[in-house]
Amino acid sequence: MAYKPFDLTGKVALVTGGNGGIGFGMVEAMAQAGADIVIWGSNPDKNRAAEEKLKPTGVRVLTQVVNVADETAVADGMEAAVAQMGAVHTVVANAGIGGGAKSFSEFPTETYRKVLSVNLDGVFFTFREACKHMVARGGDGQGGSLVAISSLSALDGAARNQAYAATKGALIPMVRAIAVEHARYGVRANVILPGWVATDMTAAAQDNDKFNENVIKRVPMRRWGEPADFGGMAVYLASDASRFHTGDSFLIDGGYGVF
């Protein structure tokens, strides 16, 4: 007999940037566990492709074009998602962008502002709207689950990527503060810190022999991470199995950070 707390039937999970990479790896796992899915992505074609891939699971899927850096778009998107799906029980703030420079001294202010607007402001807006909804229906102690996707860069010294590292580091105290304030409403909040994962964002590094030799060979598991490696954690945090687990950070990096 399957362990029933992992069954997500009747729950709705919303994932920003859920049409590819780590986001889709989490979406696919939660759908297979029975959750209905809401995908926020800025590319309509990728949204449709992700929806098509989920058809075999038989769950309801809603895709929305939402720019998480746009405060109004986030508020409208969350309202529409709740209206169409009936509720949203889990929100994964996964949407993010990279953006570095040749050196910190040459870091363009425009790039800095753009990275912050998506990676930090976008999570703030998304979680704020999610909390409004979850608190409003949290009287039964089942308010919901919030999951932020940070990065190993929050802990490492990410040379020439100070803006990205700053946004990912800031997510940890933000989530802890949300967890403490909203626990009384049954709202849990946790952070996942991925290491080196094979996604579109890391495509250039994947094809770089020097990088693979100097970096990936240092990963104790001796490989790149894959989006599917995050599916189990997504199901756990969306499920009743984690109902007493909040304010935590999960480093999923094949052991790189402790080596």
Report the C-alpha gap between 84 and 87 in whole angstroms.
Answer: 8
**Catalytic positions, written as ranges:** 151, 164, 168
DSSP assignment of 203-256:
HHHHT-HHHHHHTGGGSTT-S-B-GGGGHHHHHHHHSGGGTT--S-EEEESTTG
Judged on CB neighbours under 10 Å (0-12, 13-18, 19+), 83 is exposed
Name the token pair of 85: 């799906």
Closest among 40, 18, 42 to 29, alpha carbons compared: 18
Tokens of 22: 């780590």
| 3-state secondary structure (DSSP) of residue 192 | strand
* CB contact set of 37 (below 8 Å; sequence gap of 6+): 12, 13, 14, 15, 18, 27, 30, 31, 54, 59, 60, 61, 62
> How many other CB atoms sit within 10 Å of the CB of residue 240?
14
The rounded distance, in Å, linking the Cα atoms of 186 and 164 is 31
Q: Report the alpha-carbon distance of residue 144 to residue 56 in Å, rounded.
A: 26
Angle at which helix 122-136 crosses helix 71-85, to 10 degrees, equals 40
Amino acid identity for residue 45 in this structure: D
